[in-house]
A and B are shown apart, each in its own frame.
Chain A
């Protein structure tokens, strides 16, 4: 079946602009995660959605970052007033709460802020 998809695959934006990154999780997966991965670095947790519960936003680095998940499916990560340090690959993952526990990752969006 279809895996996790993300769009766009690449985004180049000017400093100060807003960007929206989209994630389509695997159908039926109730948990969705956003991570940031800077070049050659690890996976930095940003935000986590679980069903209808309030999202865990504890990883968002600043108030310029926000995320929504509409209808329990598609999620959008928004970065306002982008800065050069926001340049990274943004990965989305989803998992089924009915098991197994594996997080399925999307291909990521490579964001470059010039």
Chain B
């Protein structure tokens, strides 16, 4: 089955700096790659996703890049703010909506003011 590795496990950045989280996946058939943000004590929520026919996607201060050849994808957060502090999870899925997601282990991001 699919295996998703996520690095780093913790990331501390100064407010205003950029944060980058990287994930690798094992199954070349995976074609959907979402990122979820989980604030302390709250449920995970989707922040951005990318499909395998796209190499990069941006939404304001966040962007995701995908390299299908290397089987890795990354989350980039620019101009970090204290409210970006949370745990971020990457995931991979094969096939259409409703298919099982395999999550990475998570990255705890701390933005220092």
Contact = CB atoms under 8 A, between A and B. Distances in A.
Contacts of B106: 41-43
B101 interface: yes
Contacts, number: 56
B49 A102 contact: yes
A101 B105 CA distance: 21
Interface residues on B, range: 20 to 34
Interface residues of A, number: 25
Interface string A1-30: 000000000000000000000000000001
Given A31-B98, A101-B97, A58 B45 contact: no
A50 B46 CA distance: 20
Contacts of A56: 100
B70 interface: no
A2 to B, nearest CB: 14
Interface string A85-112: 0000001000111111111011110000
Contacts of A65: none
18 contacts: A31-B97, A31-B98, A31-B99, A33-B101, A41-B105, A43-B103, A45-B103, A56-B100, A58-B1, A91-B43, A97-B97, A99-B97, A101-B32, A101-B49, A103-B46, A105-B43, A107-B43, A108-B43
